[in-house]
Structure 1
Amino acid sequence: MSFSMMNAMGDYMAEKPREIVKIDLADILDDENNDFEVEGSTDIEAKNALLKDSIEQFGLLDPLTVRPAGGGKYKLISGHRRKLAHERLVAEGKTEFQKVDCIIRESDEVDAEQMLIEANIPNRVVSDWEKMQAVKRMNAIFEKRQQEGQKIPGRRREHIAAALGMSVSAVGRLEKIEKNLTQEYKDELKAGNIGVSVADKIASRPQEEQKDLHAEKGAKVKLVDLQQEKQLPVETRSRVPGIPMDRGEIILIIGEYGGRYYAGVCGRVYFPDTPPHAFEYIDKQQKYISREAAMDGAMEMISRDAFAADLLKLRAEETQNPPKPKKEPTEEAGESQVATGRGTLLLVGSLNEAWRRLAAMKGEEDEAARQYAMNRLNQIIREVQAED
């Protein structure tokens, strides 16, 4: 079976004479799956009036398409507005329109739904909402066919585009809108308050942002506003200096957005006999008016985590009390031990002097490199002292 039911039925009808039968309006049931606009709005009612006048003057030029529904009844596949025109003519007392020309087609529910969609989308003016619903329903139809074991060659989106008379990109855009647009803006699209281009731009934004946008502007949102690049916060992260690398790290997070700042802190802690501990606290409420205030706020956040607070205390101790060299060995230890002790003393003394110089450096551009050097020196000093 071809994946375009209208084409398939056209081939079938070409092989046998086109049979048109008259069926009473009372025996034609509307398709409950039809969500294309039939009546109600000013625009559609103007078209309905013209269609009714045409049918009254020239007769029904395009028969209805129906399928057997059992019990002498038929389910309407396409022609809902033409059926409505006949019903309105009968209501005016023109009983000659009680019976309608119809073409009967044998089909199951899935085939009938696909024929309904294919008959309406390419052949009448439909809204963006109706197009989106048609794409959604066609995807569901193809999903059913695949579940039934039918193999669909090629890409589904290309089949849908061909069946509905759309471009592949237009189908993809409608799929994106249906999937990502919030219900508030779907309602606006359905009501015709926004177009598909605006809906596409809005659907590119996070759901929460869409809700905020709708609360602020509703449907009064312009495409030119949505096309402007949204300013993103500039976030910087810096390591708190003075913390031994083998004990962990604390990272201060500062974000700037539109002249306001937010703060956060994260890091890891490695204490003896304790599993590694990670932490992160970020408050993106832009409540600070300067970077300095945000830095203070980030430092205050460290106290929220007991392990991070202990790490900060260790950093204070390390800064106030740099590693001290061991005492020079006594002469009783022997000449070899004295020589080794003096060598260690000189080495540790040199390392401590380098540590003090690094600690005294302020305002250097590469703070991270300076801190790394200090931490590395601390580690080397401890290793030398441990081996002595």
Structure 2
Amino acid sequence: MADKKGFDLANLLKDVPKLDTADGREQIEYIDIGQIESDPGNFYNLVQLEELASNIAVVGLQQPLRVRTSETDPEKVVVVSGHRRQAALKLLIKEGREDLREVPCIREHVTGSAALQELRLIYGNSDTRVLSSAELAKQAERVEMLLYQLKEEGFEFPGRMRDHVAQACKISAPKLSRLKVIRENLIPEYMNLFEKDKLPEQTAYALARLPGDFQHRMLTALQATIPSGATVEKVLSKYNEGWRWEPQLTCPDGKACKRGDVFLRRDCETSWRSFCGGNTCCLECDQAKASYSPCERMCSKAKAQRKEASDKKKEEEYKRKQKQGRKHQKETQDYAKRLLRAIDAAGVSDDSKINWSYYDGFPVSTIRQWAAGEFDDPAGWYGPRLVPGRCSNDHLAEVSKLLNCSTDFLMGLTDDIHPMPTQEEPEDPMEILEEETASADSWDDISETLDQVAAPEPTRRIRWESRGATPPMNKTILTYKMTNDGPEYLPAVWTGSKFKSPNRLKELTGLQYTHWLEVPPPGSGESCEVAPPEQAEGQLVICGWMPGGTFPTESCEVVADFQVGEGTQIRQVCIYDGGDFYFRAQGRKGAKIDAELIRWMRLPPEE
């Protein structure tokens, strides 16, 4: 045997196999599976048995079991090493694999120290198994007992016993110390969870450093919930500071607070909040008053107080929405009254639908109710339902035709339901001259006639003006800005202090533009010379309203009036491609306009 003095575990265990048989050689014998018993002292978990059984079924048993003769029944043997293999073989035999009943085994004949033999097997299993923390704790306990048994047999152990146990289990000394604290101090309920690998080592170690009665209190308070290791470490730190989660608080009714375990549970459940400890009454705690993610463990009085505050806030928000909604309903009512004039004038039935932008459309009966001020809860109104100008291009002509009204009326640009008749083009002075001179009797009469014919006013020379120049007051201008979808034009009137829509009914708040251009009114016969923004003098082009039947000389953008129905006109910014007019959609050519052209005006070139 190895020298009992100067104990060296690694070298000592190398010599142990020689004690197995009389001649030092191992022999394999086949033993019926029914004669093989498990060691009741085995503390290793039998895991992944199905996977191991599938492997044995394919390739057979690659490593024999190590057994020893049973001390109670010489006809049987006890497994020393190979409990998982034994369990896997039983599964296969139960499924009908009788060819595996005879199991190859190596019988160990203990002729030396039984403790040393068992220690050798534990040392060997440290290389072949991935052990859980609970298994390592049991292994360390068993190794420590075996080493003390060897010490009684005469072996000497220089140094600390903890270091020898760590060497045999092949773990670090600090980890061994943690496992010993767990093994010795963790209450049985938590130890049962630890052995089933349901309690992490960090949590178990923190719990084991708390008194047993406080562990029981935590177990009861948490109702089988497993806290994290970091949380229990914080609880342990506060406990060492003197915290006991026994609040010295008095409720408004004068009774003492008895919610200590609730406060403890709240702190064990928390993740990012600070600990409570029961040091602050729920009625005064900020976490109970928080608008978002409040404490879920507040008392019933605090919950009632919070609900009262929440209900009050909801009521205030509801009243605010009602107030805002009434404004939207008033706007809707005003326009509904206006629209109802055209509906009644056209004799449209109540079950007809008026299509409007952003909505599927409204029955005339609904518009009639709105005009009478009959609305539902205003809190549900986030904007007016009928807004002048919100009727999309797709529906504008349709609604105008249905109601037999002008698009300007629908857009809120005029109060007249029916369109004004198209102004006749002014007479050409040369035609007047020809008619007058044809009836003249002498050159004197012709001269007199020439004197009576008013000469045409000279063409005004205007151009795009920059934003810095002030527009003329109370005259229609065309504003211009470039967007990602192309140029954007908007008519406006400068009143001297603000911009308004051409009919002065709507203020154009926040109007954005880079250039503006004064536009002559249609039918005035007035024309002007217009230059694009930043274009030099001498590069002016003539721009004015032109009658239908004439066309631009090249592709360009125009503002044009079209006849879309009897007495119904629409005005569109559109594109002329040299032959036809098309809707302008996001800066590009859209659908072709199949309608009678009344007049058009070319838009100035863009910057």
* TM-score interval, normalised by the smaller of the two chains: 0.5 to 0.7
Match of 2:77 among 56, 74, 77: 74
Percent identical pairs in the alignment equals 24
* Offset of residue 231 of structure 1: 5.6
Task: Classify 1:109/1:64 alpha carbon distance in 2 versus 1 (closer, same or farther; 3 Å).
Answer: same
Is 1:7 paired with 2:14? yes
Give the counterpart of 1:102 among 100, 105, 125.
105
Structure 2 CA distance for aligned equivalents of residues 138 and 132 of structure 1: 10
What residue in structure 2 maps to residue 25 of structure 1?
Answer: 33
1:130 paired residue number: 135
Please give the TM-score of this superposition, normalised by the length of structure 1: 0.53
Higher relative contact order (CA 8 A, sep 6+): 1
In structure 1, how many angstroms separate the alpha carbons of the residues matched to 2:226 and 2:245?
Answer: 29
**Are 1:216 and 2:224 an aligned pair?**
no
Q: Distance in 2 between matches of 1:3 and 1:28?
A: 30
After TM superposition, give the deviation of residue 3 of structure 1 in Å: 4.0
Give the structure 2 partner of residue 272 of structure 1: none
- Unaligned 5+ residue runs, structure 1? 39-43, 236-254, 262-285, 290-388
Matched with 1:117 is 122
| Counterpart pick for 2:189 among 178, 184, 188 | 184
The letter for the 1-side match of 2:227 is: V
1:49 partner letter? E
Question: 2-side partners of 1:105 and 1:117: how far apart?
Answer: 15
Aligned counterpart, 2:172: 167
**Deviation string for 1:153-177 (max 9, x for gaps)?**
3322222212222112111111111
Superimposed CA distance per residue, residues 308-365 of structure 1 (whole angstroms, 9 cap, x where no aligned partner): xxxxxxxxxxxxxxxxxxxxxxxxxxxxxxxxxxxxxxxxxxxxxxxxxxxxxxxxxx
Spell out the pairing of 1:36-55 with structure 2 (5 A cutoff).
36-38=44-46, 44=47, 47-55=48-56
**Residue aligning to 2:65:** 64
Provide the C-alpha distance between the structure 2 equivalents of 1:146 and 1:12, rounded to a whole number of angstroms: 19
CA distance in 1, matches of 2:117, 2:40: 12
CA separation in 2, counterparts of 1:234 and 1:112?
A: 49
Measured in 2, the distance between the counterparts of 1:22 and 1:16 equals: 20
Q: What is the CA-CA distance between 1:199 and the residue it aligns to?
A: 0.6
AA partner of residue 99 (structure 1): E
Match of 1:156 among 150, 158, 161: 161
Alpha-carbon spacing, 1:161–1:174, altered in 2? closer, same or farther (3 Å):
same
Alignment-mate amino acid for residue 94 of structure 1: R
Which has the higher Rg, Structure 1 or Structure 2? 2
Change (3 A) 1:209 1:61: same
Shift of 1:213: 1.4
CA offsets 1:31-88 (integer angstroms, 9 cap, x no match): 11113222xxxxx2xx211211211221211211112336343221010111122222
> Aligned runs of 1:223-234 on 2, under 5 Å?
223-228=229-234, 229-230=237-238
Q: How many residues align?
A: 238
| Aligned position for 2:148 | 143
Write the distance in 1 (CA, Å) between the matches of 2:241 and 2:163. 40
TM-superposed CA distance for 1:193, in Å, is 2.1
| CA deviation after TM superposition for structure 1 residue 17, in Å | 4.3
Question: Cα 1:10–1:111, aligned 2, differ >3 Å: closer, same or farther?
Answer: closer
**Counterpart AA for 2:164:** H
3-state SS, counterpart of residue 70 of structure 2: strand
* 8 A Cα contact 1:194 1:219, kept in partner: no
Matched AA of 2:104:
D
| Alpha-carbon separation, structure 2, partners of 1:63 and 1:30 | 15
Is 1:85 aligned with 2:93?
A: no
Match of 1:271 in 2: none
Structure 2: gaps spanning 5 or more residues = 3-7, 251-277, 282-607
Letter in 2 for 1:169: P
Give 1:95 deviation, angstroms.
2.0
CA RMSD of aligned residues (A): 3.5
On the 8 A contact 2:33/2:102 being kept in 1, the answer is yes
